[in-house]
Amino acid sequence: MIKKVIYRTLWILVFIFTIVLVVWANMEHSRSNCSDININMHHKDYPALTSEEAIKTNVLKKMPTIIGQSLSAMDLQSIENLVRRNSQLEQVKAFLNINGDLLINVSPRKAILHIFDAKGQNLYLGEDLYLMNNSPTHTQRIMIASGHIPYLTEAERKQLVSGQKEIPKIYTQLYDLAKQIHQDPFLETLIDQIYVYESGEVELTPKVGVKRIYFGKINHIEEKLFNLKAFYINGKNQVDWQVYQSINLKYSKQIVCSKK
């Protein structure tokens, strides 16, 4: 009986000591200051449009007193919101480690299309129709879209992100077209650029074969791309690419080739 009481008492003392130790460690940690910022980017199977160093530089620019700041006064939510303003990032999570370092884990957003709009503004269209700022230091070698694509002001882009404004229809159509091209390794390798005419019809620029592919309106995408792929694969030994300069996919159930 006495042994059981002693045993239980010891366990209670250990439990109390552990709680006191944790509370004391948390108090000491809260009295510490931020010693450094470490950015950890989760690299995926596609290149990022920004870097750990660029993210850290931006945090220090916007919050110049963050290093040396008391950990108890650190607003992690505000830090996450700041970093999340970078349209090139998909996920952001900030936390503090036991050494007093600020750790920020980020994931890059995947770009689907590189857009040059009607005024020459350079931006990327990311997954989920997310408009991504151009990076002065990083690029992604992906399909380009140019031509009569509406220019969006900074204010309009903010409205798009907040849901106050709908993205222009041509952006949605280009996104759908680019997504379907990316889903097929053959077509992804073949198509280099998309040009948008004022009429809304588009032209594709292939890397091999003819000089241009008239796609017409961005509709019946799956059928047109299927016909294009079948034409290239089945006609590679039958078509003299030196003779033809263009392919026209705009007509239903047929492909029209034009000679030079």
pLDDT for residue 134 = 86
Residues of the chain with CATH 3.40.50.11690: 111-259
pLDDT tens per residue across span 217-242: 999 999 999 999 988 888 666 666 67
pLDDT tens per residue across span 84-127: 999 899 999 999 887 888 999 999 999 999 999 999 889 999 98
pLDDT for residue 30 = 46
Distances (CA, A) of 55 to 36, 61, 91: 14, 10, 13
158 has pLDDT over 90: no
Average pLDDT over residues 162-170: 84
Residues of the chain with CATH 3.10.20.310: 36-108
pLDDT for residue 43 = 82
Query: In the CATH hierarchy, which fold is given to the domain comprising 111-259?
Result: Rossmann fold (3.40.50)
pLDDT band at 245 (very low <50, low <70, confident <90, very high): confident
When mean pLDDT is compared over 5-9, 78-82, 133-137, the highest value belongs to 78-82
Question: Largest alpha-carbon pair distance within the chain?
Answer: 104
Task: Confirm or reject CATH 3.10.20.310 for domain 36-108, answering yes or no.
Answer: yes
pLDDT for residue 3 = 58
Amino acid at 119: K
Q: Spell out the residues 6+ positions from residue 42 whose beta carbon is closer than 8 angstroms to its own.
A: 91, 105, 106, 107, 108
